[in-house]
Structure 1
């Protein structure tokens, strides 16, 4: 049994819900204004970050639970669910600040950190497990109800955000119009926090009410949106299948070299899941044959993509230990594995088309809640796991004291990291103790010049088909290219005889300049640096053309890259090479 649609409900009930929603929006806006004022005035609760984060999380997220549930849930059950939401939001936000997974910024009411996204996801998923069950008066609702309410509220959220944005756009337009005739009242009004916070929250609440009383229109927008998304599924299947089919020929090394393999693979898995659901919708109607087969194939492709993502994370953890990001990645792989198994069963099982998908979605919603609660509580705190992992690597000798990331403990691991640094400061190993003490004194992160890890073979060389001299790859001193240590693939290289001695120099783009290296007495040394004369340019795109040249002009030489002029500053500000021509500009194609 479900409540009547808002269009056919008792007008008094609709009016009561509208008033409650507007009051909720006003209360939210006033609370956010008070938090903003406390932050600027450096008054309580801003003086206690954990308390501030707890109140802010409640003020930001819990009103959405009330706005969404007012028209369909009994008030007693909604109150109980609201209390649970308050405890969850406040508890997770406070612990996130305490553990270092979130922080309070001086000018932002919203705490910064992945924990805030986790709270939003947890309450959204939780609400759409609670509300449908309450509507049907049963512990587990029918899949069609879960589908209908979840996607309806997703569309409502988007439309309400657009409505609120349009409201502010009109206010700024009014401000500009009246300012032209010397009336500044509106401009001053919209700049006042006591107006902007309540106005924004009330307009959002009003938008939720307006979309709720026209639920049929919302469902229409939802249907059109899902239909459009569904027809992207065949394309996504072709992309995923083509990628997997190409891997055996290209190998995995190129994939791992990106250092983004796990994130990209999990993103692909997420697209497959979302688009498959867009094609399946509530399962009451079978889609066109193309979409039906695309959904089955997508269900089978999820498994190898998830396995590759898990393997990519395992490689990084095995090589460099845990970090919070890798812990989050492991959690994502666990959830993705559940979808991969369930969707593969749905794709292969005979009978009603993809029917097991429904049970998979409901089960994985509960799993996702459990994973989020484990991650953002002391049970599996990513910061704690990461600190323990990195310290274990240091103690076992897997990482040398001078290569250990002390800045992670100092700036990214909160109180746990500070405690670890205190322990390391008293370590028997003098090198460890020295580095830990230095890290404790730092007020900002140190850029690590870890050039010894630069794999020069990974530098892309233009034009295509050229390669760097073996003596350069194996003989360049590590410190010469520290700017490429983190992302060698972002440092394109080229070859050009700069000084006319018949031997090509090596040009490497580092950030927005080109470093030039010359072979001298069998050793590659820095020849100079070429910098754009007219600000940042797209050097890599220009280098791909293969057009490198020298534009001699006293008292210095300039480098031409695809027509862009870069001023060469020789090493130690030496004079231009002898014999440089100054009477003309020469441009040659790199050989």
Structure 2
């Protein structure tokens, strides 16, 4: 049975297209009113904004829950729709309440108090779960045909994109109209657009209307989806060549550069996710009449093989970081994403290698990975596998067993980034039997903002600095040993863009100074005092924009000094330095 048949059946039970539109319109109105009431409570600091956990629960459930009605109305029977909407709203409310309850809220924190991860992953979990549950309800089976999952999910994705675009275009037009009225001295429309009582309900109502408009044009949506899938499927060849070239080059370049980026896990997982999405745009629902051209078929097989090594690289890099620095919430979330990626990698590798039934195992892999994704998200944003709790436990264990010294321990992580569980652990450390641990913990507890100047942070910044001497010269060993103290000014000297270093006597005192060239700036250092410490004494920048490129490359070929255009003045005992006027149309730059 096709989706159109299901929709027709559902709409008949709801009074046809007019009844469906009334339901969606009413849903938009109710959601808009509820969100506006929450806004009023937050603005006036009234209940439920005075109860942060409750407010977070209501905000997440009200923001996302009604979308279930908009998406499922007309597709499943009213009783099933009510039960599924209620279940989704309860789960969303619990996630929102837990997210806020685990935080240590500062006096200046404003509702809805929800963190960005729970908003992003909550939306992802709801989208995935909805398109697993609705087909199952319609077919009255736990697992339905893969073509049904594909049809429902990709159509909903197109509808969502079009509805968001329609809502955005609506607001662009409103602001354009307000600007026109403003030009003739009428500001009433601009004033209305700035009012929450208008903007919140109207935005939700327009979105609900857009969902209805895209839903009644089923053939149009399918046509847009077909074109989008066709265009995206050909991009698969591009990313396959790029990823294949990257993996082929690794044996020759080594992995050190990859790990030094400090974002290797995120990058390779993003590449794997791109491959997964584009593979599915080519495979589509797996029906014989949807088999892509031969070149795309081979592209799908090659791309499916590439996912596994990317996930292995991600797990490897993540394992190194965790081994060196322990768990953090970001690393735990990355590990969860890598776990889902491993399922995709194994399943797609099997699909590519298995003969007969072109890529058929891909279908089961997608369903299993979708279910796993929902379960993992629910675990991460609930007490079951709270990343903050797990991270704090691991970091404290590292401190206790001596894997990290009291001096290098990140107390600010407990104070500012791990919520109530971190605050409780920090309070315990203030009573530690180790005097240094207790002292540093008390200092962190007293801070009102995170300090970025911890010894570990300084070493991390220094480790990221990359310098290269010009031909025939070497970087003084004394400067190399002091890079940690200079890391803040050498932040532009990275693996991707090493800075060029040249020794030169700048002031004629017979001692070598250092010039460190970035792409657009040259820093000057000299040794001062009896301690032989290198200190930054100035910087040079190109006077005209046309000369502001590749200073690091220019320093490698040579450098000379030029006399100052204007001398310093002594006025009333004060030394005044001139700032020359620059005429960039002068060929000499003077």
Same fold (TM over 0.5): yes
Per the alignment, residue 553 of structure 1 pairs with: 564
Following the alignment from structure 1 to structure 2, what is the Cα–Cα distance between the partners of residues 467 and 74?
Answer: 79
Check whether the contact 2:469–2:475 (CA below 8 A) recurs between aligned residues. Answer: no
TM-score, normalised to structure 1's length? 0.87
The 10-residue stretch of structure 1 (479-488 or 77-86) with the greater mean CA deviation from structure 2: 479-488
CA deviations 1:440-491 (Å, max 9, x no partner) are 111111121533455568515487x788515256433632334558985477
Check whether the contact 1:96–1:376 (CA below 8 A) recurs between aligned residues. Answer: yes
Shift of residue 103, structure 1, vs aligned partner = 9.5
CA deviations 1:410-442 (Å, max 9, x no partner) are 111111111011100000111111111111111
Shift of residue 508, structure 1, vs aligned partner = 4.0
Per the alignment, residue 328 of structure 1 pairs with: 333
Following the alignment from structure 1 to structure 2, what is the Cα–Cα distance between the partners of residues 248 and 354?
Answer: 29
Shift of residue 351, structure 1, vs aligned partner = 0.7
Following the alignment from structure 2 to structure 1, what is the Cα–Cα distance between the partners of residues 16 and 310?
Answer: 49
The 10-residue stretch of structure 1 (256-265 or 482-491) with the greater mean CA deviation from structure 2: 482-491
The 10-residue stretch of structure 1 (492-501 or 477-486) with the greater mean CA deviation from structure 2: 477-486
Shift of residue 586, structure 1, vs aligned partner = 13
- Asked if residue 267 in structure 1 is aligned to residue 270 in structure 2, the reply is yes
Per the alignment, residue 528 of structure 1 pairs with: 537
Following the alignment from structure 2 to structure 1, what is the Cα–Cα distance between the partners of residues 545 and 428?
Answer: 45
Paired residue for 2:282, among 264, 279, 282? 279
Check whether the contact 1:65–1:82 (CA below 8 A) recurs between aligned residues. Answer: yes
Per the alignment, residue 499 of structure 2 pairs with: 493
Check whether the contact 1:31–1:59 (CA below 8 A) recurs between aligned residues. Answer: yes
- CA change 1:172–1:494 in 2 (3 A) is same
- Asked if residue 297 in structure 1 is aligned to residue 302 in structure 2, the reply is yes
Following the alignment from structure 1 to structure 2, what is the Cα–Cα distance between the partners of residues 17 and 27?
Answer: 15
Per the alignment, residue 115 of structure 2 pairs with: 112
Following the alignment from structure 1 to structure 2, what is the Cα–Cα distance between the partners of residues 268 and 373?
Answer: 24
Check whether the contact 2:351–2:360 (CA below 8 A) recurs between aligned residues. Answer: yes
Per the alignment, residue 203 of structure 2 pairs with: 200
- CA change 1:489–1:386 in 2 (3 A) is same
Check whether the contact 1:449–1:482 (CA below 8 A) recurs between aligned residues. Answer: no
Check whether the contact 2:351–2:359 (CA below 8 A) recurs between aligned residues. Answer: yes
Shift of residue 225, structure 1, vs aligned partner = 0.8
- Asked if residue 209 in structure 1 is aligned to residue 209 in structure 2, the reply is no
Per the alignment, residue 49 of structure 1 pairs with: 52
Per the alignment, residue 4 of structure 1 pairs with: 5
Following the alignment from structure 1 to structure 2, what is the Cα–Cα distance between the partners of residues 537 and 56?
Answer: 52
Per the alignment, residue 147 of structure 2 pairs with: 144
CA deviations 1:117-136 (Å, max 9, x no partner) are 11111111000001111222
The 10-residue stretch of structure 1 (315-324 or 443-452) with the greater mean CA deviation from structure 2: 443-452
Check whether the contact 1:101–1:114 (CA below 8 A) recurs between aligned residues. Answer: no
How many equivalent pairs are there?
Answer: 564
Per the alignment, residue 70 of structure 1 pairs with: 73
CA deviations 1:335-369 (Å, max 9, x no partner) are 00000000001001111110110010011111111
TM-score, normalised to structure 2's length? 0.87
RMSD: 3.3
Following the alignment from structure 2 to structure 1, what is the Cα–Cα distance between the partners of residues 540 and 547?
Answer: 12
- CA change 1:157–1:457 in 2 (3 A) is closer
- After TM superposition, the structure 1 = structure 2 runs for residues 29-108 of structure 1, keeping only pairs within 5 Å, are 29-100=32-103, 106=109
Check whether the contact 1:67–1:208 (CA below 8 A) recurs between aligned residues. Answer: yes
Check whether the contact 2:283–2:292 (CA below 8 A) recurs between aligned residues. Answer: yes
CA deviations 1:563-585 (Å, max 9, x no partner) are xxxxxxxxxx9999xxxxxxxx9
Per the alignment, residue 233 of structure 1 pairs with: 236
Per the alignment, residue 568 of structure 1 pairs with: none
- CA change 1:6–1:214 in 2 (3 A) is farther
- After TM superposition, the structure 1 = structure 2 runs for residues 155-174 of structure 1, keeping only pairs within 5 Å, are 155-174=158-177
- Asked if residue 471 in structure 1 is aligned to residue 477 in structure 2, the reply is yes
- CA change 1:490–1:357 in 2 (3 A) is closer
- Asked if residue 381 in structure 1 is aligned to residue 389 in structure 2, the reply is no
Check whether the contact 2:500–2:552 (CA below 8 A) recurs between aligned residues. Answer: yes
Shift of residue 32, structure 1, vs aligned partner = 1.1
> Unaligned 5+ residue runs, structure 1?
558-572, 577-584
Paired residue for 1:288, among 258, 282, 293? 293
Following the alignment from structure 2 to structure 1, what is the Cα–Cα distance between the partners of residues 30 and 543?
Answer: 53
- CA change 1:456–1:359 in 2 (3 A) is closer
